[in-house]
Amino acid sequence: MKAMATDSEEPQDEEAGRGRPSSYKPEYAAQAEKLCLLGATDDDLADFFGVSDRTITRWAIVYEDFCRSIKIGKAASDDRVERSLFRRATGYTYDAVKIFMPGGAQEPVYAPYREHVPPDTGAMIFWLKNRRRGEWRDKPDEQGSDNTLTIRVIGGLPDGEKSD
């Protein structure tokens, strides 16, 4: 069963004896890690635990094990997405099977084959804009390393002009 808490839940100040006791339980850390491995956001965690997203943030500040679990789960999930984006950008091949049921046949026919997914230019651009910002950003840096303006000539100089 889900633990229920309100938006106004505050960690208890044990020294002063003030504040409401937290509804946090140590087993929440393992649950949060598993949810984050599946791609859960802080809003998803709040919904699962029946608290506000502010409470999730407070728990991450107050309880080290909860914070660590969230970071581990999100990092693993992000790594999986990064690998998928890389595969999409570079293309890949996988084994597949087509199943046919010819007319008059008693059993289906299984035809294994290799499917090729070509590289995707959108994924390539996204990858390069993030990994090689200097070379792939939308607006190139017009300032040289010595803060002098660099003029880029595309397609050569107009007729009759000579370069120095």
pLDDT tens-digit map of 32-61? 999 999 999 999 999 999 999 999 999 999
* pLDDT of the residue at 134: 86
20 occurs within a structural domain: no
Angle at 153 between CA 122 and CA 150, to 5 degrees: 90
* pLDDT of the residue at 113: 97
Q: For residue 157, how many other CB atoms are within 10 A of its CB?
A: 9
21 occurs within a structural domain: no
What domain range includes position 90? 28-136
Give the residues of the chain that fall short of pLDDT 50.
Answer: 1-16
**Whole-angstrom Cα distance, residue 62 to residue 16?**
16
- Measure the CA dihedral 100/102/103/106, to 10°: -90
Q: For residue 45, how many other CB atoms are within 10 A of its CB?
A: 23
* pLDDT of the residue at 15: 45
* pLDDT of the residue at 37: 95
159 occurs within a structural domain: no
Domain count for the chain: 1
42, β-bridge pairs: none
**Whole-angstrom Cα distance, residue 68 to residue 2?**
21
* pLDDT of the residue at 145: 53
pTM for the model stands at 0.61
146 occurs within a structural domain: no
